[in-house]
């Protein structure tokens, strides 16, 4: 075939396009197969050029021995001020969040200060982390293992506090009807009440309604006298870091049902369950004995804020993916650990109804020189009971039982409170040394009993 | 004898029935010869609960369904409140703990943990711990199409503020958008039905554009409904790179010196996409984790954290083109002109179909005469050391004679 030589023509080879996805046959002119220590340079409008990129220095900012485990995630904690959970007055407002296979740290670069804020239960280099910052709080959605593995944890970091977002156990609350002087407001009837922790959830300087967590199930309150109702914290569980986030315990109550018949009060439950709950009060002191009195007419309850009880965080949500979007937390691929049922059981001796403890207790006799025991059982939760013994010159001693301690076990005629948080017993040992053949009069005042009658008293005779 | 009691609640979500069991509660049988359990009200704080059962055990190991006084299993159906998130029942009778049925509580199969891989939950504004039950959206019906990550395809106007732009939800097989329709109604729609996000850290926003790793490459979502391949199958010659895309990470970094880069990292090699150029480069070193922090790029090799501040250390460069074809014909390369700053002294090698055919250095003029140099598939390699940052190689120009067949003259 005849050929002819064309005159020389220029071929421009624009640089900068690394293409590993095409073979030589289809690569555009100028596509590169190898680029080392060069980066694109110049304006977009230029066809392309590359610039020498000197090797970055081996500036080790954080040596391996400063943190435990393998670094699996890097994030930022950006604050506009040091919050109330800041334990380091000179810490930076913009800090690293370093997630390793076993821990979470915040790293203050200017101060070169590494602070451990969380430890995972186990170490895994397969952990992956997604960060989402809402106001002053940064959320860490942690997954573990291969791509399809279960979410591992949702952590919340604020200042130097990092905790797992899992609702804490609810406190135990009692409601007691009282008729105080000049207070004749809350009518006799059957009510339902619930309670929950309220967080001060304003983020940054934004004003927001408090978030409620660990909302209890409804409880029955029978208002037996017109007047007021006292709500008292019988126990508060160990809250850990949550104690810093919780502001108060909110009390929510329905309007009354008129059923006053003790035997029939349960009949009012279906009606009450379909009534809204209103936030009637709150207990500000988060400790045993913290209480509040509520006194208002039932008909005025709709004037209080209604409870919105559809927060999914009553269960434990653990996502693998998290994102901050317009000040909302958005999560996906979620594992839901449903709330445990409250095993609020009452165990009693008998077959038909819980005993109503009435004073005085049946007198009994302890022979001279012998020892008997009175067992007072608090089931299942805490309450206080007053014990008065006569004659007073018996030798007596209070003992813990089943490992549970009762407060103030040194004196009689004092309120005794179960502080163990579970079903416990107090055993009162009585030794007769001075008044043989004289009856012991024992009075037990169960005034501060729980929402239903749950105090059990029995006598056991133990060998001396 | 010591007894324990557990309450079991069955809950019906849209993914099946789940059993949630309370912790054991000890009861002391020494109090009386007969024990009973009483709670006038059984309630659970979720209206999806459908049944509650009371189990008892005398060995704290095996729990059996207790019975009501008067007979019958201690089990009640729960009624959902019409306006409260509660399911409840009043117990019809007391419960004998010590009189049990044969029904054993099977804790090994009790599944109290529900997994919702393809549903998105959103909190209320400024209340990240308040996630109303209505603020959810089921994106797909395929459990394997789980949510991998989120992004928004606009540049945020503030801290996580994206205005009316929707959330882009990257699932494993698909990509969706999620809009706030009204204050409480979230509306999801499928944006891409044929591609998904192949890694939990494989979707990100880079300068207002969403990039994600899929099984077949790295893609970008331009605007709301388009998609554009950034690099379909960044595949090396051995063909192993494609598989390694799964599980790798995409991180956008914006540092000083005007660098806006998207890093593909988390594997043996890191690649850098210049956002301004839309071009990929190999990184000088691979990084497991990356973070741009106050105009400095930080990286981790797994156990240490480095800053990536550039220094003036001298490091050889290597640049090699893909084969340049001349329409399939032989070409005679007359000259090669390399333009840029301080290209003098760079070494060069020319290859034809993989075989080195010429080598030398770039003279001060930048023009290399190449007598008797013929090639059909020309690869140009430049290498050597540079003196400092900012020195560039702008382009390579070739003077070539191409031997083409003469066109047949026709009348």
Task: Indicate if the pLDDT at residue A58 is higher than 90.
Answer: no
Report, as an integer, the average pLDDT of B330-335: 92
- Which B residues in the span 223-282 are in contact with A, Cβ-Cβ below 8 Å? 231-237, 241, 246-247, 259, 271-272, 274, 276-277, 279-282
Measured between CB atoms, which of B88, B116, B393 is closest to A15? B393
Using a CB-CB distance cutoff of 8 angstroms, which residues of chain B are in contact with residue A349? 31-32, 34-35
Q: Does B86 touch chain A (CB under 8 A)?
A: yes
Report, as an integer, the average pLDDT of B271-291: 75
Which of B130, B334, B343 would best serve as a mutation to test chain A binding (most A beta carbons within 10 A)? B130
Q: What is the ipTM of this complex?
A: 0.81
Whole-number pLDDT of residue B294: 75
Whole-number pLDDT of residue B203: 93
Using a CB-CB distance cutoff of 8 angstroms, which residues of chain B are in contact with residue A147? 148, 172, 198-200, 246-247
Whole-number pLDDT of residue B235: 44
Give residue-wise pLDDT tens across range A67-123.
999 999 999 998 888 877 788 888 888 999 999 999 999 999 888 899 999 999 899
Confidence band, pLDDT 50/70/90 cuts, at residue A287: confident
Compute the distance between CA of residue A316 and CA of residue A242 in angstroms, rounded to an integer: 14
Confidence band, pLDDT 50/70/90 cuts, at residue A453: very low
Whole-number pLDDT of residue B237: 39
Between residues B26 and B167, the one the model is more confident about: B167
Whole-number pLDDT of residue A140: 96
Neighbours of B356 (CB within 10 A): 11
Binary contact (B324, A13; C-beta < 8 A): yes
Q: Which of A417-431, B162-176, B359-373 has the lowest mean pLDDT?
A: A417-431
Compute the distance between CA of residue B350 and CA of residue A367 in angstroms, rounded to an integer: 115
Binary contact (A343, B90; C-beta < 8 A): no
Neighbours of A216 (CB within 10 A): 21
Count how many residues are written for chain A.
464
What percentage of chain B reaches a pLDDT higher than 90? 25
Confidence band, pLDDT 50/70/90 cuts, at residue B232: very low
CA distances from A58 to B113, B173, B298, B299, B304 (A): 46, 40, 11, 11, 11
Q: Does B152 touch chain A (CB under 8 A)?
A: yes
Nearest to B39 by CA among A308, A232, A218: A218
What percentage of chain A reaches a pLDDT higher than 70? 60
Q: Does A132 touch chain B (CB under 8 A)?
A: yes
Q: Does A65 touch chain B (CB under 8 A)?
A: no
pTM of the model: 0.75
Confidence band, pLDDT 50/70/90 cuts, at residue B236: very low
Mean per-residue pLDDT of chain A? 72
Binary contact (B276, A15; C-beta < 8 A): no
Binary contact (A130, B403; C-beta < 8 A): no
Measured between CB atoms, which of B5, B291, B317 is closest to A37? B317
Whole-number pLDDT of residue A226: 81
Measured between CB atoms, which of B30, B36, B123 is closest to A348? B36
Q: Which of A90-99, A333-342, A393-402, B19-28 has the lowest mean pLDDT?
A: A393-402
The number of angstroms, rounded, from the C-alpha of A239 to the middle of its chain's C-alpha atoms is 6
Give residue-wise pLDDT tens across range A326-356.
889 999 999 988 888 876 655 544 333 333 3
Binary contact (B380, A13; C-beta < 8 A): yes
Binary contact (A321, B123; C-beta < 8 A): no
Binary contact (B200, A36; C-beta < 8 A): no
Task: Indicate if the pLDDT at residue A397 is higher than 70.
Answer: no
Whole-number pLDDT of residue B33: 42
Confidence band, pLDDT 50/70/90 cuts, at residue B329: confident
CA distances from A9 to A6, A435, B335, B355, B403 (A): 8, 128, 11, 24, 12
Compute the distance between CA of residue B70 and CA of residue A129 in angstroms, rounded to an integer: 55
Whole-number pLDDT of residue A153: 92
Q: Does B20 touch chain A (CB under 8 A)?
A: yes
Mean per-residue pLDDT of chain B? 81
Closest A-chain CA to B113: A337
Whole-number pLDDT of residue A455: 46
């Amino acid at each position: 075939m005849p050929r002819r030589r064309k005159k020389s023509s220029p071929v421009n080879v624009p640089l900068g396009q690394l293409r590993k996805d095409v073979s030589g046959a289809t690569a555009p002119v100028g596509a590169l197969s190898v680029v080392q220590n060069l980066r694109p340079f110049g304006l977009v409008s230029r066809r392309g050029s590359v610039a020498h990129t000197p090797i970055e220095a081996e500036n080790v900012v954080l040596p391996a021995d400063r943190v435990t485990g393998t670094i699996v995630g890097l994030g930022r904690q950006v604050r506009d001020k040091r919050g109330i959970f800041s334990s380091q007055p000179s810490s930076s407002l913009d800090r690293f969040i370093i997630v390793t296979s076993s821990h979470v740290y915040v790293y203050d670069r200017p101060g070169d200060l590494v602070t451990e804020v969380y430890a995972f239960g186990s170490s895994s280099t397969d952990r992956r982390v997604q960060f989402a910052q809402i106001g002053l709080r940064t959320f860490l959605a942690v997954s573990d293992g291969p791509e399809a593995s279960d979410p591992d944890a949702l952590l919340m970091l604020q200042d130097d506090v990092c905790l797992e977002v899992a609702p804490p156990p609810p406190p135990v609350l009692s409601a007691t009807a009282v008729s105080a002087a000049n207070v004749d407001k809350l009518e006799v009837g059957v009510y339902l009440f619930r309670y929950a922790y309220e967080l001060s959830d304003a983020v940054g300087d934004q004003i927001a309604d408090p978030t409620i967590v660990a909302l209890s199930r409804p409880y029955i309150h029978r208002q037996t006298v017109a007047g007021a109702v006292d709500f008292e914290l019988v126990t508060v569980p160990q809250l850990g870091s949550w104690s810093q986030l919780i502001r108060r315990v909110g009390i929510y109550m329905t309007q009354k049902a008129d059923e006053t018949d003790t035997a029939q009060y349960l009949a009012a439950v279906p009606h009450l369950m379909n009534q809204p709950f209103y936030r009637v009060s709150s207990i500000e002191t988060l400790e045993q004995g913290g209480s509040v009195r509520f006194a208002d007419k039932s008909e005025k309850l709709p004037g209080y804020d209604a409870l919105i009880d559809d927060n999914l965080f009553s269960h434990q949500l653990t996502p693998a993916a998290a994102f901050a979007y317009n000040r909302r937390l958005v999560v996906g691929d979620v594992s839901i650990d449903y709330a445990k049922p409250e095993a609020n059981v009452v165990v009693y001796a008998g077959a038909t109804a819980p005993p109503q403890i009435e004073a005085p207790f049946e007198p009994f006799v302890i022979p001279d020189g012998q020892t008997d025991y009175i067992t007072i059982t608090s089931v299942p939760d805490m309450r206080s009971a007053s014990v008065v013994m006569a004659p007073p010159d018996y030798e007596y001693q209070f003992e813990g039982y089943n490992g549970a301690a009762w407060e103030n076990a040194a004196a009689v005629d004092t309120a005794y409170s179960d502080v163990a948080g579970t079903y416990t017993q107090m055993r009162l040992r009585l030794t007769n040394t001075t008044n043989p053949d004289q009856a012991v009069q024992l009075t037990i005042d169960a005034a501060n009993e729980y929402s239903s009658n749950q105090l059990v008293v029995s006598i056991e005779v133990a060998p001396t | 004898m010591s007894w324990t009691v557990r309450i079991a609640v069955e809950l019906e979500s849209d993914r099946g029935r789940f059993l949630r069991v309370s912790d054991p509660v000890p009861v002391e049988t020494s109090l009386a010869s007969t024990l009973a359990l009483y709670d006038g009200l059984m309630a659970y704080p979720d209206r999806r609960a459908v049944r509650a059962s009371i189990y008892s055990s005398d060995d704290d190991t095996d729990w059996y369904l207790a019975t009501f006084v008067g007979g019958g299993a201690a089990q009640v159906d729960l009624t959902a409140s019409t306006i409260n998130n509660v399911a409840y029942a009043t117990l019809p009778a007391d419960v004998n703990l010590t009189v049990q049925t044969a029904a054993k509580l099977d804790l090994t199969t009790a599944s109290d943990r529900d997994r919702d891989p393809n549903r998105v939950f959103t909190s209320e504004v400024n209340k990240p711990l308040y996630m109303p039950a209505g603020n959810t959206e089921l994106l797909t019906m395929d459990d394997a199409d789980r949510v991998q990550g989120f992004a928004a395809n606009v540049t945020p106007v503030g801290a996580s503020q994206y205005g009316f732009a929707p959330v882009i939800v990257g699932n494993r097989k698909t990509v969706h958008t999620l809009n706030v329709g009204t204050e409480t109604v979230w509306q999801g729609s499928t944006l891409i039905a044929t591609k998904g996000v192949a890694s939990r850290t494989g979707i990100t926003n880079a300068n207002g554009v969403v990039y994600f790793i899929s099984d077949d490459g790295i893609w970008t979502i331009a605007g709301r409904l388009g998609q554009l391949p950034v690099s379909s199958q960044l595949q090396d010659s051995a063909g192993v790179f494609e598989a390694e895309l799964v599980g790798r990470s995409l991180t956008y970094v914006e540092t000083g010196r005007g660098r806006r880069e998207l890093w593909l990292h988390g594997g043996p090699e890191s690649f850098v996409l210049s956002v301004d150029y839309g071009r990929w480069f190999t990184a000088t070193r691979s990084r497991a984790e990356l973070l741009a922090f106050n105009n400095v790029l930080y990286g981790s090799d797994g156990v240490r954290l480095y800053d990536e501040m550039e220094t003036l250390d001298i490091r050889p460069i290597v640049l090699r083109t893909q084969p340049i074809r001349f329409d399939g014909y032989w070409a005679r390369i007359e000259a090669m002109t390399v333009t840029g700053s301080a290209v003098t002294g760079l070494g060069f090698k020319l290859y034809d179909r993989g075989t080195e055919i010429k080598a030398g250095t770039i003279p001060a003029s930048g023009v290399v005469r190449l007598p008797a140099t013929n090639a059909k598939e020309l690869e140009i390699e430049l290498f050597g050391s540079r003196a400092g940052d900012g020195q560039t190689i702008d382009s390579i120009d070739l003077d070539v004679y191409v031997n083409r067949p003469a066109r047949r003259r026709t009348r």
